[in-house]
Structure formats: structure tokens, C-alpha cells
Structure 1
Amino acid sequence: MAQKSFFILYIFCLLFFVSTSQNPVQIIDSLKIQLNKATKDIDRAKIIADLTWYYSMVNTDSAYVYGKKSIYSAKKIGDSTLIAQALSDFAVVNYSKGDLKTALDYYKKSLLIREKQRDSIGIASLHYKMGTAYHKKTQLDSAMIYYLKALKFYEDTGNEVLANSAESNIGALHFNQKNYNEALRFFNKNIIFFRKTDQSKLLGNALVNKASIQLVMKDTLEAVKTLKESIKISEAINNVETLGASYNNLGEVFMAQNKIEQAKDALSKSIQYRSNSNMDADLTSSKLTLAGIHNTLGEYKKARLLLDEIRPFYKREGIKEKLSTLYLQYITVFASEKRPDSARYYSAKYAELQEEIVGEKALNITNELGAKYESEKKQNEILKQRAQLAEKDLEVRRKNTFIFGSLGFAMLLGLLGYLLYNQQKLKNRQLQKEGELKTALAQIETQNKLQEQRLRISRDLHDNIGAQLTFIISSIDNLKYGFTDISEKLGDKLTSISNFTSQTIYELRDTIWAMNKENITFEDLQARIANFIEQAKNASERTEFSFTIDETVNETHVFSSVEGMNIYRIIQEAVNNALKYASADEIEVNILKEEGEYFIEIADNGVGFDQASIEMGNGLNNMKKRAREIGGKLQIKSSNHGTRILLRVPK
């Protein structure tokens, strides 16, 4: 997890470190007024360049438009200094948008002009920015070369702030190369300097980077402490970029600790801050992580909304590692929606993309090794030419060439073997994932078949047994009215049978209701219980009924259909017993939640009964049996002032 943490790279090595009493929006408004008043082309070109710069801090789309205008205006005037600056500013805009290839192209164009002008400050600035771009592209060798060039200039000129910033990025490179102790040494040095010079923004950034090192070194408690310090410092100066990174990394920590809700809160804050920082790549990265959290919490609709939102960005920018993670999250979403075709589609896309990623990494490493090998060959040719002047020196150089060539070839074979081994591991993991997916799809299919069977049984109960019971009631009524000379005793017996049959129909409907549902919520129970109590009121007009659900109860809490039906039957049996035997004036049904359990209370003010002397009947035994089946506990307390039945159901 720790290596997924977000590192802050210090990109803007000149004007971004200069504080201002105005915020960028105020400066932009002022510059627009100046632009409307400006009449000279040179003045307008400078103002447009400034607008590009300040818009890059608040709105990358507007910055992109002004960046194009700035390049056009500078070329129209023919001022090489302005052209170089416009190209550099436009590169920064593309960096912020996540288009690193375009950013590097414009940095290189600007560098050619700066080198012709022998502008050492401008050259150092571009070396620094190119280092950050290569760093983000994970081309670590190139990044190190440009960082070291910039660092040498800043050390030679005594610019401690920018030298420390460059060292922070070099520390981040050591982290990427797994040189953790070396990376930590750089960051600790930066933190001491930034504290001493009161550089709050840079201090917050350095703390974020240090926390990432602490995480990978398994010092989670110190990492959380460091991130919280960064948040405190960054909030004081409203440094949204660092706040976004800090909360993002804090969310990663909470995910590793399985504190999913805390991770969700941290990622939400990260997204809030990154929405205001114009760092599109970082914002979409946080959204992708949050989508994964939604999937973990079973919030599949929320996860899919985020995935649909960020998918165009990753497809457009071609960030394959992130796109691969996105496809993996889609598999979970579509499996939850019982859409096996879509799940299989994204599983195939994921496997295809993983093969591309591994292949590209292998190709890049092979090309780099090939280039190094060719370089060594050229060097050896030069050595041979020089060696003609001294035969002994030639022998020594030939031996060295053979040794270096052998080592290079051995390294190449070793790396290729390592890559093939990793690729095989990846295929094995993919096969495992496919097996897990097939199992999940089979479970979904089994659940669907079970639900279809339950629906079929419930229809048969309703259409066959329900119709037969209704026919019995109708036949009894016709019998009573068709034979006027039926004795009173026989008439009462027929009425009793009719009432019993009617009650059986009601209970059959309750059973069908439960079978038609895969899950039952408190909201469903509330409606069913309210309907039952309304019937009870009609049966006993002298008894007052009340039914309340406490505010602490989550009405959307889900029970299985078996659990929900057992709870309903227990309440129904308790109310029926109170009506039949207790001679109660008041019957209450209350539902509340305490300490992770739901409490369901059925109380009356009737005559009660002596539990020691009265043998438990089928009704009370059935209630206790139903409670045990759902993992609950049933308590019965009775006195001559009434009876209280308490059902405790685990949350």
C-alpha cells in the first residue's frame, strides 16, 4: 500500500515560491483590466503570458487558451525571451493537465532557446521542470540527470530554497528505487531547513514525502502523525495541493488498516481540495481510490458513477496502470449488478491491458540496456584506436572491454529472466482472478435460481391453496345461509371453521409476502406490523394499540427473508396472546437500538400469568424457537400488572 502513496514533486522552481498579498483570482482580474487598456504588442504579449501563468493555478482550461495566445503573441513580436517563457508556461499547463508528453515537448523547445541565449537561470529552471515530468512518467534515470543538473546550479549560486526543493525530488527518486534510508536522509534534511526558514508550503510537502517513507518502512503510527502535522501546517496557509495529497495518503493508510469509513472520509476531503488545485491527474487518482472504497462498502452505484466520470480521462491520457485498476473495479460493479457479460468483458480488458503493461516494461528495459550496450561498444572502439600507441595499454583495455561486455550481457539476461518470471506470475494471478470471478458468477446464478423457485412456490401457494381456502369459506357461508334449520351449536362450529380458515389465509399471505422478498428491511416490517395491528384494533375495539420505532433504528437495515418473517411471527404471536388471554386495555409494540443490538418489546397491562406454574404452550415455545433460529434471545416477564416480552436481535 505504501508505495501507492502520493509524492509531491516540487515543480515550479521560481515564481511559485514567491508569496503574494493577492490571490491568483484577484491578480487575473487586474491583468484583464490592464490587457484591455494595453495598446503595444509587447505589453499585451507580457500580460497574456502572465495570465497563462496565474490561470495555471486556478483553471487549466483557461490557462491552456491563454497559453496558445501567449505563444502566438510572442512569435508575432519575434522576442526570443518571451517565446521561451511562453513555451515553458504552456508546458506547465500541460503538466498540470496530466499530458506529460506534450509538456516535455514544449520544455525542450524552450530549452533550445534558453541555451542559445546562455540564460543559466532559465536553463536550470527548465532542467528542474523536465526532471519532474520524467519523474511522473517513471523514467527515473532521465529524471535524476535533470535534477542533478538543476541542483548543481542552485548550490553553485547559493539558492538554498531551490537546492533543498531539488533534493526533495531526488529523495523521492531514491524512494521509487527502494533506497529508503537514503530517501529519508534527504527528507529529514529538507524538513530541518524548511522549519528554520519558515517555508510552510515546502515544509508541508516534505512532511507528506516523509510519511510515504515511514509507511513503506512499516512505521504506520509515525506516518499518520506526520501526515496530520502536514495537514495542520497546510490548512493554516490554505495549501490545497498539499492538503489533497495528505488526505489522499491518509486514506490509503486507513484502507490498509481496514478502517474503510475513515478512508472514505479522507479520500472525500482529498477530492474536495484537489478539485480546487487544477491537478487533473491527481484528482482522478483520488476518485479512482474512492470508487474502490465504495465497492468495498457495497455502494456499487456510487462506485460506478465515479468510474464512468474518470474513465474518459484515463483513456484519453493513456495511463494504462490506472486504467487497469479502473477495469478491475468495473468487474466488481457489474458482478454486483448481476451482469455477467459486462463483468467478463472488463475481465478480458483487464487481462489484455496487463499484458500490454508488462510487455512495454520489458521493451523499455531492453531498449535502455541495448542503448547502454551500444554506448559501451562505441567507447571500446575509441579505446582500441588509442591503444594502438601502446600495446600493453591495449591488452589491458581489451580485458576491461571483455569484462564490461560480459557483465552487461549477464545483466541483460538476468533482467529478461526476471521479467519473464514476473509475467508468468501475473498470468497465474489472472487465472486465479478468473476462477474467483467464475465462482462469484456461479453463486449469483444459484441465488437467481433459488429466488425463481421461491417465487414459483409462492405463486402456487397463492393460486392453489389460497383459492381452495377461499372456496372453503364460501362453501361454509353458503351452507349456513342455504339451510335455515341448522342448530345453533352447528352454526357456531361452522362460523369457527370459517374464521379459522380466514386467519389461515392471512397467515398464508404473510408467508407469500416473505417468500417474494430476498431481503426484508425494518421499513417493510413496519408496514406489515402496522397492517396487522390495524386488524387487531378491528378485532378488539376496547384495547388501545401503539406501535413506535425509535429514531436510532436504521429503517433501511436489511434482514434475510427468514429473519424478517421470524421477527414478524414473534410480534404477531405476542399480540395475539395478549388479546386472547391477558384481558389487556393497552398493548404496545416498541422497536429500538442499543449497543449493537435491536430490541423489540411487546408489552400489555393485562392480568399476566405465573411462569412457574403455567406450562409453556406451543405459542410461547414457537416464539423462543424462532428467536434462536435468528440468533436472538427472547425474555418473558409477567406479573399481575401485565406481561412484557423482549426480543433481542443482533445488528
Structure 2
Amino acid sequence: MIGLNARSLRQYTKAFQYFREAAELFDGAGNRSGQALVQRDIGCAYFELDRMDKAHDALSSSLKIFRALDIPAEIARALINYAPVLVKQDSPEEAQKLIEEALTISKRLMLAAETAAAQEELGRLHFNAGRYEEADRLLSAAVDARRSLKQKRELSTALVWLAECRHSHGIGEDIEDLLSEAEILAESVGLQQNLLVIANLRAEYAATMGRYGDAHVFWKKYKLLKDSITSVAKDARFQSLLVEFDAERKDYNIAQLTSEREVQRLEMERQSEALRMQHLEARQRVQEIELLSRETEIQQLEMKMTTANLREKEAEATRKQQKINLLEKDRKLRAASLEEQTILRNIFIGSSIAILLIALITIIALRARRRESEARVQAAEAENHSLEVERKQADYEARRSFTRQLIASQEQERKRIAADLHDSLAQELLIINNRVRLSARRDGLDETTANELAGISDAVSTSLREIKNISKALRPFQLDRIGLTTTIESMLRSVNESFDTEFEWEIPQMEGWFTKEQEINIYRTVQEAVNNILKHASAQHASVRIERRNGDLRLEIRDDGSGFDAEAHASPGVVPTGFGLQGMYERVDIMEGNLNIRSAQGNGTAIDIFIPVSGAVESASEQTLLEVGEGGASHV
């Protein structure tokens, strides 16, 4: 406690003295928790003196002890104190991991002060990394917690960081209020560093808002506070150097005492070694005398052994000669046996080679027959596969030709029905409407009859419009008169006027790109896609875009509607079950194009269609592009 008071008064020499005394007491008592607390206080003091290497050693040691003792609350506090040191040492990622761990522990243990400290420190890390939104959220939470805990010093610091974060993020609504509150708290508790940062932020904010007079006043205040804090910093640096000098002096005294004791110990060892050497020399002389006596005895024994060895060698020579004679006999017997074995082995090898040759010839013949059979089977399989491919191709071409004829007949029938509706029924209704209007204009009609005739005229006019719309839907006359581009645009304008879904489009001039049959198929495909959006999608916005890309026509249709499960339609070999989608697939297939549908429930639908432009028509379309230039139409 005394050390903490000295540290709060910036009397670091006394603080470190008290911390060392406390460490010795805790060490003597075997209190590891107390040792960890003292190490944490020492690390915080070194951090305030900007000695990050010593702060790192002390705080990491404190954290290790608390982890070993498994005290979660102290682990959280140690993590919060250790993280700023890592930030100063350019390790923000490691610091962020420690702070997130501290925040998790503090929330789990419901430690309000530690939670607020962790949120503030994590907010500073996000701010330094440029993640302003996350920093604002964490710093706001820290400010609320500090305010509820009535921590004036910590609240002032948190308010300053929050104001600086919002100023950097470009949010300037409540910066003045945050800085004012922070300044009042800083003045009440004497936080000169916070006042310096507040004056700097206020000057920058005033200059940003164009209040250059206020900015000048705040810059002057910032300069005065900076000069004052600089002198305090110099004093702190002097105390830091004084602490280092005191520590080094104590280390030197300890080293001197250790050196004197070491010299005394070495002198005693030298004297002991000299006595031991004298004893060894005396023992060596006695051993040398004993060796001379033994050498004499050995020489006598060697002379006796020499005579015995000579006799032994003579007997050994006789035994060797006998052994040589026996070996010679054995060699001759083995040579005879080996010759016999060689003859038998040659006979066996010859027989084996003959058998192997016969077997090899047989195997070669069998393999040749098998390869010939396999070749025949492969040729048959290839022929069957070729026939199957030709059959499938013929079926596909037949189905495709039938589809083309069916669509052509449908278009002819639609054209005939549209012409009949326009030339017969529409004309008759027009005549009826004119007669009703003439009858309504006669004099002497009562009001009831006139109203009935007017109603009949309105009903007939409505029927005429409906017949016109039906005829237009069955066979759009614009295709023959004004071309594909204008026809599609007219349809989309009509849809925008009649439905809630808003369509956008970008369509180039496509006259001359396709044959009449292809233009009808393209129009019907777009029409069916638009009808599907209006009927099923419940979309707010949709778009139709057409462009030339690498000699192909690319048609993109998008909507933000409810979407559907497109997996079934995207599966290979699956025919679409809806008549609308089936018709789109068939028309695109007739034009040798590709149709892709991407959709999911709630994520809208995207249709991409690629249609090749044929050679002769492509040349004509290129000439059309040169003539119309930028004549394509777009609507947003």
C-alpha cells in the first residue's frame, strides 16, 4: 500500500524500494499471490516510466503466476495491464487476443470495473487499426460503465478516446459535450495529460468547423499544458534514472561482496589442493618402489615362460602339419562331389529352360488370342457407342425440329387469331360503339336511357381495349413495323405503367441481328420472363439488359423478388415442369443458345441467356451497329 501511494505521487525511487521489501516478505512467506501482485505493481510503474522491456518482464511474470494459481479475476486484471505493453512493443494482434480473453473472464465473473477497462482497451486497439464503428461501440459501453461506477479518472480518459474516435470517423454531433465532460472530470482529479489531449482535440475540431478564433485559443492552452507536462515528464525521467542508478549501485555492492567471498573460497581451495598434491607425490614414490620389485619378479617368470613356449610351438607345428594333410584329403573329396553336383545341376537347368520356353510360347499364344478377342469386343463397343450417339443426335434433332414447327405453328395461329380479333370482332364492336353513341345523342331521350347507353358505350370501349391488348399479346405488330428493340421497350413501358414492379432496361439497336423467327423467339422469351416476375416474384425492382459479347447476344434478366428453388431446373437431364420455363428453354435451344437460372428462396432470380449471332446476320448486324452508333436505348 505504501509503495502504491509513492507511485501515485510519482515518487518512483521510494515506490520501488517498498515494492522490493514487499517482494522479499512475500518470498520468505511463500505467498505466490502476493509476489504476483508486487510484480504487477512494479510492471505498471515501469510502464509509467516508459521502460517497456522491464514492464514486459514484470507483467508477464505476474500473469504466469496468476495463471498457475488459477485465479480468474487476477488473471483478467493482469491481462488488462499487460496488453498496453504489447501495443507499445508493436504487437497489437497479441494484445487484442489478451484483451478479448480478459473481457470474456470479466463478463463471466461480472467484474464491472474490469469489464469496462477491457472494453476501453479493446476499443483503443480497434481505433488504432481504423475500425471506427467497432471502436465507437466498445468505447461507448466503457463510458457508460465508468459513469455508473463513478470512476472520474477512468471516465475522463474513456470520454477523450470516444471523442477522438468520433472525430476521426467524421461524427461531430456530440464531440463538444464529450470533451466538456472529460475536461471537467480531468480538472477535478488533476489529469494533466487528458487536459492536453482535450485541448488538442478541441483545437482540431474548431479548425475543422471553421471557428479559427476558438482553435487559436485552444492551441495556446495546448502549448501551455504541453510545457507543463514536459517539465513533469523530465522530472519523471530523472526519477527513472535515479531508480536505475540506485538499482545498479545495489547490484554493484552485491557483486563486490560476492567477489570477495569467491576470492576467499578460491584461496582455501588452492591451499587444500597443495596439501592433496603433497600426499599424492608421497604415495607415488611408494608405488614406484613397489613397481620395481614387481618388474624383477616378472622378468624371472618370463624366462621360465619362454622355455615352455618353445616346447608348445614345436607341438603346435606337428598338429598343423597333420591338419594340412587332413584338409588336402577333404578338398579332393569335395572336388569330386562338386563335379557330380555340377553335372546334375546342368541337367536340371537344361530341363527347366526347356519347360520355361514351352510355357512362354504357350502364354504368348494365349495373350495374342486374348488381345484379338479384346480388340473385337472394343470394336463392337465402339460401333455400338457410335450408333447410340447417332440415335440420340437424331432424336434430339427430331425433337428440336418438332419444337421449332410447333412454336412456328403456335405463332401462326396466334397471328391468325390476332388478325381475326382485330379485323372482325374489333370492327363489329367499333360499329356497335358508334351506333350507341349516335343513339345517345338523339333528342328526346330520358335520363335513364341516356345513362344506360353511356354505360353500354363504356363497356364496349373497355372490350375494345381488352381485344387490342389480347391481339397485341398474341402477335405484337411492332415486330414487323418498328423492330425487336422498340417492341421490347414498348412492352416494358406498358408493364411499368400497369404494375407495381419497376423495370429498368438497357437494350441496343438489334435490327438486322436475327431472322424474323429468331426475333419472335427472343421477344417471347423476354415476355415469358417478365410475366413470371409479375405473377410469382412479388418483386419491387427488376432489370433487363442486352449486349453483344464475343459474337453472342447476352440477355440478363434480374429481380429482387421471393425467388424459388432453382436446383431442380439446374440439374442435368431434368426438364422444367412449368410451361413458361419449358417454353423459354425450348426457344433458346432452337436458337442454339444457353439459358442459366440462378435463384434461391428470398434472394431473387437471375436469368442469363447467350444466343449466337449467325454469320450472314452477324455481318448485317455489324453494319447496323456502324450506322446507328450509340443508338441503343436504356431506361432507369
Quick check: which has more Rg, 1 or 2? Answer: 2
TM-score (norm 2): 0.39
